[in-house]
Each structure stands twice: as C-alpha cells, then as structure tokens.
C-alpha cells in the first residue's frame, strides 16, 4: 500500500518525519517516559541527554509531589537546552499481549499529551512512537492506535495546535506509520 506523509485534520496539519525527536523545532516534544520520571533509554535517554539536567530537576520536583506518573497520564516540563520550549512526559503501557487495556492506555497517553499542549496554547507538537520500543507494543498496532487517537482529538476538540508531527527514528517505523496514515485518511 502506498503511504501518506501528511494530512490536514480541521485546521491542523498532521505529518510524519523520519529523524531524532530531540532535534525537532516544534514548541513541545513528547517523551516516552517511565513512571519514576528519572530518565531511561530510547527517547527518554535521548531527551534527557540533549535537554540537560534542568529537565531532570523539574521531573524530580514533580515526582516528589505526586510520587509517580501513572500510565496514560502526562506532565509538562521546560525543554532545557532543547530547541523545543517544553517536554511533555507521558507513560505508555507495557505490552502484555493486548488483553490488559493496553490500547486504551496508549490512546490516553496521546490524548493527555494533546490536552496538555492545548492547555499551554501550543501551536506545534512532536510525538515519538510511544510504547513501540522497550515497552514492546507491536509497531503496526501502536501506529493504528496513535494515529486514530490523534485524528479523533483534532476532529473533536478545538485546539491551539496547528501542526502535529510523528517523529519516527528509522525508515521501517516510518513506512509502518505512513501506511497506517493512508489507511486512517481513507476512512475520514
């Protein structure tokens, strides 16, 4: 199936980018974090590495207040040394085969991140492919949930967002998202 790289939903452009999310110039980027918000590998490691200690300091303050961040929830910090002004940290579900509400928890991670960006009146936002790395979510299924959730939000909620990007780290992931975006667009 041929892919699609960009669609418009309402007044918001939804596009795919192949690259490193820490290098995106959108106002905010989303981090695929873990409940203790103390950094990790993958996207989490890259964002803390590129953003510097200020981000971890703010995460530490948040955790001292709330203890841990539950799966599907999101919190916002500054972007530290990143081009992005903000980092929205969200927790995707660990994949356990699909019968423990993983799809709804993944959808919630995207939805809560979009709500947070809208609350801050942001115009642009970049997502990674949440849960499809260390958390083991099958890529095509993760892409389907991600795109359908973001499209549903953009159709249903008045938002400040004018551009939303999925920043995909490698060509294989990009191709999967591009095929899923074509599928989602054909059903709109």
Question: Any catalytic annotation for residue 170?
Answer: no
Tokens 């074509």, residue located: 182
| Helix, strand or coil, per DSSP, at residue 165 | strand
57 binds ligand APR (CB under 6 A): no
Task: Please say which residue, 7 or 109, places its beta carbon nearer to ligand APR.
Answer: 109
Member of 129, 149, 159, 184 binding ligand APR (CB under 6 A): 129
42 binds ligand APR (CB under 6 A): yes
Task: Please say which residue, 77 or 131, places its beta carbon nearer to ligand APR.
Answer: 131
**Quick count: other Cβ atoms within 10 Å of Cβ 145?**
23
Phi, psi of 137 (to 5 degrees): -70, 130
Q: Beta partners for 31? A: 89
Query: How far is the C-alpha of 122 from the C-alpha of 64, rounded, in Å?
Result: 27
Member of 4, 12, 22, 86 binding ligand APR (CB under 6 A): 22
In 3D, which of 133, 142, 33, 130 has the Cα closest to residue 98? 142
93 binds ligand APR (CB under 6 A): no
Residues in contact with ligand APR by the rule CB under 6 A: 20-22, 32-34, 40-46, 92, 128-135, 167, 169, 173
């Amino acid at each position: 199936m041929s892919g699609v790289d960009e669609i418009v939903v309402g007044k918001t452009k939804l596009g795919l980018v192949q690259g490193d999310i820490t290098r995106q110039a959108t106002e905010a980027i989303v981090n695929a974090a873990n409940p203790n918000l103390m950094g990790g590998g993958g996207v989490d490691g890259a964002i803390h590495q590129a953003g510097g200690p200020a981000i971890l300091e703010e995460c530490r303050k948040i955790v001292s207040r709330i203890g841990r961040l539950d799966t599907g929830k999101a919190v916002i910090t500054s972007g530290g040394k990143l081009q992005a002004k903000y980092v929205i940290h969200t927790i995707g579900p660990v994949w356990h085969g699909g019968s423990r509400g993983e799809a709804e928890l993944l959808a919630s991670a995207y939805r809560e991140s979009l709500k947070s960006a809208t609350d801050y009146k942001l115009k642009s936002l970049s997502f990674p492919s949440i849960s499809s790395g260390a958390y083991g979510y099958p890529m095509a299924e993760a892409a389907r949930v991600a795109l359908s959730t973001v499209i549903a939000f953009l159709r249903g909620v008045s938002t400040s967002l004018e551009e939303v990007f999925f920043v995909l780290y490698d060509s294989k992931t990009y191709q999967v998202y591009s095929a899923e975006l074509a599928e989602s667009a054909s059903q709109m």
